[in-house]
Structure 1
Amino acid sequence: MAAIMLPSALALFSFILTLLLFILHCTSVSQDGMILLKIKKENWRDPRNILSSWNEAHQNPCSWKGVSCDTFHSVTTVNITGACISGNLTSAICGLPNLTALIFQTNSFSGPFPRGLLQCEGLRLLDLSSNQFSGTLPIRIFELSELRVLNLGDNAFRGSIPPAFGMLKKLEGLFFHGNSLSGAFPTFVGNLVSLRNFTISNNPLLPGVTPKELGNLKQLQQLWLYNCSLEGGIPEVLGNLTELESLDMSMNRLSGDIPSSLMALSNLRVLTLSENNLSGQIPATIGQLRSLSSLDLTDNQLHGTIPQIIGNLTYLDTLIFSSNRLTGEIPAQLGELRHLRVFMVDGNQLNGWLPQSLGTYSNLRDVEVFENNLEGPLPKNLCMGGALFSVDVSSNNLSGTVPSSLQNCTSLTALLVYNNQLSGEFPPGLWDSLNLNYLYLGNNKFEGKISAKIGGAKNLKRLKTNNNLFEGRLPAQVGQLKELMYFDASKNRLSGPIPHELAGLSSVSTLKLDHNFLSGEIPKEIMSLKMLNQLYLDHNRLTGEIPGPLNHMTNLDLSNNLLSGGIPLELGRLRLNVFNVSNNNLSGRIPDGLDNLVFKESYLGNSKLCGARYVMLPPCWSPHKLSSWRLATILLPPLSIAVVALCSICLYRSSFRKPRSTPLWKVTLFSSTEVDELHILRNLKESNVIGSGGAGKVYKILLQNGQVVAVKKIWNTSGLEKKIMRKAEQEENKVGEVEVDAMGLIRHTNIIKLLSCISSEESNFKLLVYEFMPNGSLFDRLHDGPGSHMVLEWPMRYRIALGAARGLCYMHHDCFPPILHRDVKSSNILLDGDLGAKISDFGTSRELDKLGNEYTVSFYVGSHGYIAPEYAERLKVNEKSDVYSFGVVVLELVSGKKATGEAEYGEEEHIVTWIRNTIRMGREEIEVPDKRAVKDNCIEQMMRVLRVGLICTHRQPKRRPCMKEVVEMLVACGGDKLKEKELK
């Protein structure tokens, strides 16, 4: 009996033991989970608590966010993309025995390449892209021999790519884009015959030719080589890449013809060769690319005609031939492309007529043929299929009228026909097209009236009717356009009063009604529009006084009218870039903030204005009209009585109480410079004023220790200066305590140094004490200001560009959180005693949550000519907006010309378009470099720096480099003549 019960007992014991082990397993974290928890606790910082599910309460790590497992519940993948995690990546994670994929894309990891990861020998995918890794690439990368995909893009790796990367024979994807790699192009990539995707774009590599070894990569499907210093011709061997689907070699210095071998790539869908120096003609064999959906050859030196055979590309989606030297007619069969969505041949020198058949096909969406020499009328059937989305035929020689058939085109969102010879009345049904966002009719010969139907275009954002023959009254219905941000009706024949209904333009930031025959008073309601910051009403017949309030105005031109009365005092506190009230009947005192040499011609033709010291107007009270004896006779008796009375009162009060103490001034130091606040206050004299602007006056003061400082007297604060002096009180208008550690955010040799802040609860102003810059601003040096007689030669200009770039790079990449300046311009780059560049004026800056994020602002601040297109047009900003502004400064340094207002610019009034047009004509080396700066055969280097400026001012923010890349590109431009150590 015992023998029978023994097996049963053993079976029961085995069951209980298995049950206990199962329960133990279910109530404890696995070994893999323990490894991940330890890493999270000891090595990572998770500010947004993204990894909250990583805890003992969730025993199975396979259920944790970003963790994937195999069928045996063993961790194979850790993916924490976009979690904002920082810290260290150590070899501890390699303790996961079955780990094959680590994806840490878009986080905040920094420091050198985490060499501990080289112990993860089973890794097949490693993605460290979009972090802040720096230093050199690992020379022992070959230890990860199983890798299939390696993504190191969008970091700050520098130096050369080690040859060891050529030993990763199993690689199918290799990504180096968006770093600071400065070595030679890695020819050993040609050994990676399994590669399907390879990109090394946006790196300041050493200039060199495209390696022929790339022709060995027969499996390659994507090859992105844009902006990596390639020069010479495109090698014929790229025609061997028969599997290639996407080729991007834009933004280099490629030259020569487009090789006919590329036309054999039957699988090619995207071909981008824009922004190079390619010449010759577009190969007639291009029709062999049957799969092609996107072709971009913009900004080259191509000539000849557009091949007729392009009509065979039935899948073509986007066609861009802008900024070349093409001639001839646009092929009529392009209208037969059933899948055509975008057609752009802008910036060429095409001749001939637009084919009438262009728009007779149902799927035509976008027609863009701007900046050519096209002639004849617009095609009549552009919207026959009802799918037309955008038409841009601007800057040609088109004539005739706008086709009436477009009135029925309900899909149309953009109609741009400016800079042509179009005439007649604009089709009535187009004025109220509901879906229109952009309507540009400027610089034509349109007649008639701006229709009252315009109120029906509810989605209109930008309306330009300038420089035409429109007449009659401006319709009040314009005020119904709640989405309108930009309205330009200047240089027409409009008459009558400005409608009060324009106060309904709640989104408008720019309003131009100048050079018309408008009369009556300026409606007060318009001046108080919250978003309005640019107002041009000059050259009309307006009367009455200048109304207020004026909230956020930056540009105001009221010149050449019949205005009377005084200039509103609040104008003196605005940050005005443009201000002109000349040739009116104004009288009275000039507000303090407008007594500035910048506005020296803004008051001409107003004989009753007074009080401006720097613009040479008479004082508001002129004692010379009375003789000295008579003046003394009048003034001496009352003055004597007043003095005696005042002394008596003071003596009387002093006998009863202690003398009143001096107002309590709080001094916050940001440096070791000792500041005597009473000495500063006593020296706030007119004789010490060196500048005046919207924020207040700037004084040059000699401290008691012999140091010269610049003291900025401000009435209230904004941007970073507001952060520096954060209020303790709840009321924003009160002056509060200074936050001592705020200025620690920005400490850099190329950023102006704030020495101290002086404030008092009893005063309505603050004093910011800055280091003094004896050489003024870059604008003054380059243009008409003080010191402009001392010519800046090119080596010094190059040094200034590099210094300013480093200052902005620090703000964008080394501050936490990053800082966006928003008003980068040559007048905000100051020069020290050695002509070293320092970024100044942070009154409009703002902190960023994260680089790359796009922010919408209520209104734009900044200066005309420096503002990025997306900022001006859509009020969208990020750090790439600063990059654009800096690019304009670079163009100023190379050319010696102002951002706007030069006679050479013509109607465009912009340095960027002028330089691009000059390059298009092949005259950049002759016309662009500032002859005053040229020294020791530096033209070649000036052209390299010019290219950096043009890349920074690319219209598309994503195509602009970040500031760390700009610094690397500028350093690379220095070559052997200017070593980096000499520029620090």
Structure 2
Amino acid sequence: MTKPTPTSSLHTHLCFLLFLLLLLSSHANSQSVQDQEQAVLLKLKSYLQSPPFLSHWIPPTSNTSHCSWQPEITCTNNSVTGLSLVNANIALPVPPFICDLKNLTLIDLSHNNFAGEFPKAFYNCSKLQYLNLSQNSFGGKIPKDIDSLPGLQYIDLSVNDFSGDIPAAIGRLQELRNLQLSINNFNGSVPPEIGNLSNLKHLSLSYNTELVPWNLPSNFTQLKKLKTLYISESNLMGELPGTLGKMAALEELDLLGNSLSGDILQVVEASNLQVIDLSENHLTGPIPDDYGKLTNLTWLALSYNVLSGEVPASISRLPNLKQFSVFSNNLSGILPPDFGRYSELEGFEVSGNRLTGKLPDHLCYWDKLSTLVAYENNLTGELPSSLGNCTSLTEVRVHDNGLSGNIPSGMWTAPKLSLVLMSNNSLTGELPEKMSRNLTWLEIRENRFSGNIPTGVSSWNLEVFDAGNNLFNGTIPQELTALPSLITLSLDQNQLTGFLPSEIISWKSLDTLNFSRNKLSGPIPAGLGFLPVLTALDLSENQLSGQIPAQLGHLTLSNFNLSSNHLSGKIPIEFENPAYDVSFLDNQGLCATNPSAKLSICNSQPLKSSKISSTYRALILTFGILLSLWALSLSFFMVKAYWKRNRSDSDWKLTAFQRLNFRVSKILRIDRNGDSGKVYCVPVNRTGDVVAVKKIWKDKKLEEKLEKEFLAEVKILSSIRHANIVKLMCCISKDNSKLLVYEYSENRSLDQWLHKRNRPSNLTSSVHHVVLDWPKRLQIAVGAARGLCYMHHDCVPPVVHRDMKSSNILLDSDFNAKIADFGLAKILVKHGELVTLSAVAGSFGYIAPEYAHTTRVNEKIDVYSYGVILLELTTGREANDGDEHTSLAEWARHHFQENYPLVDALDQDIKEPCYLDEMCSVFKLGIYCTETLPSARPSMKEVLHILLRCSTKVTPPLRRFRDASNLIP
């Protein structure tokens, strides 16, 4: 063995000592970094004012480390590499020292209230790879030197207030894998340099509606690794690049709600596509047969385009297809029979086309089908037999076709079935004794159903039952009155006989009752007068007899028809009103005390001629004539003296629309001291009665607009009667001044209760201190919906308000809603007709998008404005909540689409647990009413039905569908 030399031994010892020094130095440096990071974190806690969620951030002991401060802190090799302060309600600027944590690779500050411009403090985080600032209030422009963070792989700036251009510098972040910029206020351009991000896998620019119109840059198709491309509703125009179909890695393509034109996307190599949504554009041409090669495709949505031709048979054989939506196009031909046979189909939506032939018979082959939407086509034949065993089925909408035959028997009892719309077909058969307990909406009008209304109807759970214009016979079973949730009941134009049910007190929710054009006989039940929310009653063209029950006078009816029966006696005094002139026609035995009712005058007990001599009658007649002459002379001199004393009022003309209980002289004071355009509260008698008076004074040319609004208001309000529309009592006018006299609403307008800054200083103290609770808000929503529903659906011609807002909803002493201010209203020739106006009118935050852009209006602009009011009621926010580029409707839509908790959007002042379900449902209804496309909004009749069924027990969650009528919960 070789003995070590002294030199080699010394060398070994020196190496060992050097190793120890390096080890001690490394430990000292590590300890120094930990101490420095701990100090920065404690400084951050102090900066955030020591919030409770950071209570566990305390100086560590010898056995612990700041790396244990989870989940906010993530460490690698005992050093902080991740900082996550998510959903912490932080409303401070980003601390400038945040990057004193030198090793940070991840910063997540999402779901807070951080504001200000993009923090350049991040530029000091030289190792930063992941940055999430989404759902805050950052604004201004994204810095042009954002490429100072070259290591970024993930950046999420969505749901903020960034504006201006998207900087070209983003295209120089070569490590970027994920770029999220959706839901901002960008009002500039999109840089084509984004197409240079060769490593990008996920790109979202959706819901940036203020972007300058732009075409999809052709170099975007060079993003060879891109898996998801989301550019919904972002002002994208032009044709789709043909090379888009060559992006082999692409899995999800969503370009919904833009202005794309030309032929639809031709798929060549994008075989990995799972989702294609090109809905709501202007794409033309046929659906390519190549789509049948996309074996991974699960979702194909091409609705609201101008597509033509037949549906390719190859698509029906895709093995993974779950959702097929092509409604509202010009598609024709027969539907391929294999739909549903090869894939677990969940949604099949083909409505609003020109399709013929039968519905595919295997739609529910795998028992997964939930929605069948095929209305407004030319379909024939029977419903698919597979629906008879379809336990997954929730909705069937096949109305307005040529379908025939019986309903598959098992369909009626499908456990999840909630909605069936099959009107206007040639379907036959009888109704079953049992139906699904979840079925609440059944419309089978204008078919050939026959037989009796089954006595098993008492076990149904319907809220809408419309079976008019069929072949039903027999009597109306008493069991039908056992449906307490019923809102609409229409059995008109059938062959029903017998008496109307006498015990009907269970119909507490009934709004519409129509038994017209049957063969019903007997008396009208007095119990109808006690139905608390009944507004439409039609019993016309039957064989009803007897007197009209006085109890019907208790109802507030917007639609009332008892014509063409055998009724007799005096009509209730409440109906002696021009609004009901046509309600009693062709009833020979009816009479009225008021000749305006277009009925014969009810005679008082006649004098017996045998007991009254002709001389006595002549004396009575002579005395009456003399008395009349004396009274006329006296009145003439009194009136002459009065007008002589009030010469300035000699030109006034009174037009009364209601029975007045006050003198005009009480109102004329406004003419002497009132300002034009304002509304005044005027006491009119000693009993304390008050009216509201609106003055229009047209001495100035600038007030010609007010004159036009005055005439519009008089024309409309004098012709309509409804409990939820403000009552116009009279109009007093002369050449240069006009006065409108309304019923007075004690609780002023809705906006003064919801929004503090709109409360006048003289408003009662109760308004200042009492919060409008949710039951009252829901009551107000229903009342306003009733008024609009009457205007849109029951007025002939229909009326569009054009300026619906919370300040135009007045509240009486019981908080009943009354729609007011019809100065901008427009009478339409027929329902749904578009009218072009010379200028846009209305208020910011309430104006529907199509009205602002085209000045073309129909009833759907009121639906949009009403939806904003629903959002005000549920959130407490104002309609223009935001800056000049945002509104409450946009904010609510973003909140909903990003799946934020709905309860976070609700008004904190009234957010009680027992009302949360109702409030969330009404909030979502407000979102659906404010859809961008008018056709996607519900009608006011649908809105009213949804509100009436809104309760914590029965309201299911709303789901977002693109189908225009798929808005019913």
TM-score between the two structures when normalised by the length of structure 2: 0.63
**Could you tell me which residue of structure 1 aligns to residue 846 of structure 2?**
804
Query: How many Å separate the matches in 1 of 2:138 and 2:448?
Result: 59
**Could you tell me which residue of structure 2 aligns to residue 41 of structure 1?**
49
Greater Cα radius of gyration, structure 1 or 2: 2
Query: How many Å separate the matches in 1 of 2:215 and 2:256?
Result: 14
Residues 423 and 342 (structure 1), Cα distance of their counterparts in 2 relative to 1, 3 Å cut: closer
Query: How many Å separate the matches in 1 of 2:919 and 2:472?
Result: 29
**Could you tell me which residue of structure 2 aligns to residue 544 of structure 1?**
524
Cα deviation, residue 432, structure 1: 3.7
Residues 579 and 55 (structure 1), Cα distance of their counterparts in 2 relative to 1, 3 Å cut: farther
For the pair 1:245 / 2:245, whether they are aligned, the reply is no
Structure 1 residues 473-482 or 107-116, which shifts more?
107-116
**Could you tell me which residue of structure 2 aligns to residue 464 of structure 1?**
443
Query: Residue 186 of structure 1: which of 165, 184, 191 is its match?
Result: 191
Cα deviation, residue 70, structure 1: 0.4
Cα deviation, residue 826, structure 1: 5.8
For the pair 1:738 / 2:767, whether they are aligned, the reply is yes
Aligned-residue RMSD, C-alpha: 5.7
Residue 493 of structure 2 aligns to a residue in which SS?
Answer: coil
**Could you tell me which residue of structure 2 aligns to residue 713 of structure 1?**
744
Residues 97 and 827 (structure 1), Cα distance of their counterparts in 2 relative to 1, 3 Å cut: closer
For the pair 1:30 / 2:50, whether they are aligned, the reply is no
Structure 1 residues 193-202 or 240-249, which shifts more?
240-249
**Could you tell me which residue of structure 1 aligns to residue 929 of structure 2?**
885
**Could you tell me which residue of structure 1 aligns to residue 320 of structure 2?**
315
Matches within 5 A, 1:836-847: 845-847=873-875
Task: Tell me if the contact between 1:201 and 1:224 (Cα under 8 Å) persists in the aligned partners.
Answer: yes
Query: Residue 205 of structure 2: which of 187, 194, 200 is its match?
Result: 200
For the pair 1:226 / 2:224, whether they are aligned, the reply is no
**Could you tell me which residue of structure 1 aligns to residue 426 of structure 2?**
445
**Could you tell me which residue of structure 2 aligns to residue 940 of structure 1?**
none
Amino acid at match of 1:495: N
Residues 213 and 386 (structure 1), Cα distance of their counterparts in 2 relative to 1, 3 Å cut: closer
Matches within 5 A, 1:679-690: 684=691
Higher relative CO (Cα under 8 Å, sequence separation at least 6) belongs to 1
For the pair 1:300 / 2:344, whether they are aligned, the reply is no
Query: How many Å separate the matches in 2 of 1:535 and 1:85?
Result: 54
Cα deviation, 1:275-297, whole Å, max 9, x if unaligned, reads 22222333333344333332222
**Could you tell me which residue of structure 2 aligns to residue 363 of structure 1?**
none
Task: Tell me if the contact between 1:394 and 1:416 (Cα under 8 Å) persists in the aligned partners.
Answer: yes
**Could you tell me which residue of structure 2 aligns to residue 353 of structure 1?**
none
Structure 1 residues 115-124 or 140-149, which shifts more?
115-124
Show structure 2 runs of 5+ residues with no match: 1-26, 608-619, 631-676, 696-713, 757-763, 778-801, 852-857, 878-891, 904-917, 945-959
Cα deviation, 1:512-563, whole Å, max 9, x if unaligned, reads 2222233555546656534443433333345414514333445554444537
Residues 951 and 736 (structure 1), Cα distance of their counterparts in 2 relative to 1, 3 Å cut: same
Query: Residue 100 of structure 1: which of 105, 112, 123 is its match?
Result: 105
**Could you tell me which residue of structure 1 aligns to residue 457 of structure 2?**
478
TM-score between the two structures when normalised by the length of structure 1: 0.62
Residue 694 of structure 1 aligns to a residue in which SS?
Answer: coil
Amino acid at match of 1:481: W
**Could you tell me which residue of structure 2 aligns to residue 505 of structure 1?**
483
Query: Residue 265 of structure 1: which of 270, 273, 291 is its match?
Result: 270
**Could you tell me which residue of structure 2 aligns to residue 91 of structure 1?**
96
Query: How many Å separate the matches in 2 of 1:628 and 1:82?
Result: 92
Query: How many Å separate the matches in 2 of 1:609 and 1:792?
Result: 42
Residue 472 of structure 2 aligns to a residue in which SS?
Answer: strand
Residues 127 and 615 (structure 1), Cα distance of their counterparts in 2 relative to 1, 3 Å cut: farther
Residues 462 and 709 (structure 1), Cα distance of their counterparts in 2 relative to 1, 3 Å cut: same
Query: How many Å separate the matches in 2 of 1:612 and 1:97?
Result: 90
Residue 176 of structure 2 aligns to a residue in which SS?
Answer: coil
Cα deviation, 1:838-892, whole Å, max 9, x if unaligned, reads 9998899444698537989xxxxxxxxxxxxxxxxx9973555335435699689
Task: Tell me if the contact between 2:118 and 2:140 (Cα under 8 Å) persists in the aligned partners.
Answer: yes
Task: Tell me if the contact between 1:80 and 1:104 (Cα under 8 Å) persists in the aligned partners.
Answer: yes
Query: How many Å separate the matches in 1 of 2:415 and 2:373?
Result: 18
Query: How many Å separate the matches in 1 of 2:835 and 2:351?
Result: 36
Residues 698 and 243 (structure 1), Cα distance of their counterparts in 2 relative to 1, 3 Å cut: same
Query: How many Å separate the matches in 1 of 2:174 and 2:622?
Result: 98
Task: Tell me if the contact between 1:106 and 1:129 (Cα under 8 Å) persists in the aligned partners.
Answer: yes
Cα deviation, 1:757-783, whole Å, max 9, x if unaligned, reads 999xxxx6689999x95x624344x56
Residue 41 of structure 1 aligns to a residue in which SS?
Answer: coil
Amino acid at match of 2:270: L
Query: How many Å separate the matches in 2 of 1:953 and 1:409?
Result: 22
**Could you tell me which residue of structure 2 aligns to residue 176 of structure 1?**
181
Cα deviation, residue 496, structure 1: 3.8
Structure 1 residues 388-397 or 188-197, which shifts more?
388-397
Cα deviation, residue 198, structure 1: 0.7
**Could you tell me which residue of structure 2 aligns to residue 778 of structure 1?**
825
Query: Residue 167 of structure 1: which of 164, 169, 172 is its match?
Result: 172
**Could you tell me which residue of structure 1 aligns to residue 552 of structure 2?**
568
Query: Residue 278 of structure 1: which of 265, 283, 306 is its match?
Result: 283
Query: How many Å separate the matches in 2 of 1:611 and 1:721?
Result: 43
Cα deviation, residue 108, structure 1: 4.2
Matches within 5 A, 1:692-771: 693-695=722-724, 697-698=726-727, 713-714=744-745, 737-739=766-768
Residues 765 and 445 (structure 1), Cα distance of their counterparts in 2 relative to 1, 3 Å cut: closer
Aligned residues: 749
Residue 198 of structure 1 aligns to a residue in which SS?
Answer: strand
For the pair 1:490 / 2:468, whether they are aligned, the reply is yes
Cα deviation, 1:312-346, whole Å, max 9, x if unaligned, reads 64333333333333344444555652455545444
Cα deviation, residue 78, structure 1: 3.7
The percent identity for this pair of structures is 29
Cα deviation, 1:671-698, whole Å, max 9, x if unaligned, reads x999766479665299999676425744
Query: How many Å separate the matches in 2 of 1:122 and 1:628?
Result: 112
Query: Residue 84 of structure 2: which of 57, 79, 87 is its match?
Result: 79
Query: How many Å separate the matches in 2 of 1:327 and 1:375?
Result: 10
Task: Tell me if the contact between 2:748 and 2:811 (Cα under 8 Å) persists in the aligned partners.
Answer: no
Query: How many Å separate the matches in 2 of 1:520 and 1:721?
Result: 52
**Could you tell me which residue of structure 1 aligns to residue 132 of structure 2?**
127
Query: How many Å separate the matches in 1 of 2:767 and 2:182?
Result: 43
Residues 491 and 86 (structure 1), Cα distance of their counterparts in 2 relative to 1, 3 Å cut: farther
Amino acid at match of 2:766: E
Show structure 1 runs of 5+ residues with no match: 1-17, 350-371, 637-671, 726-734, 786-790, 810-822, 830-836, 857-873, 902-907, 911-949, 959-984
Query: How many Å separate the matches in 2 of 1:451 and 1:405?
Result: 18
Cα deviation, residue 76, structure 1: 3.6
Task: Tell me if the contact between 2:166 and 2:186 (Cα under 8 Å) persists in the aligned partners.
Answer: yes
Cα deviation, residue 66, structure 1: 4.6
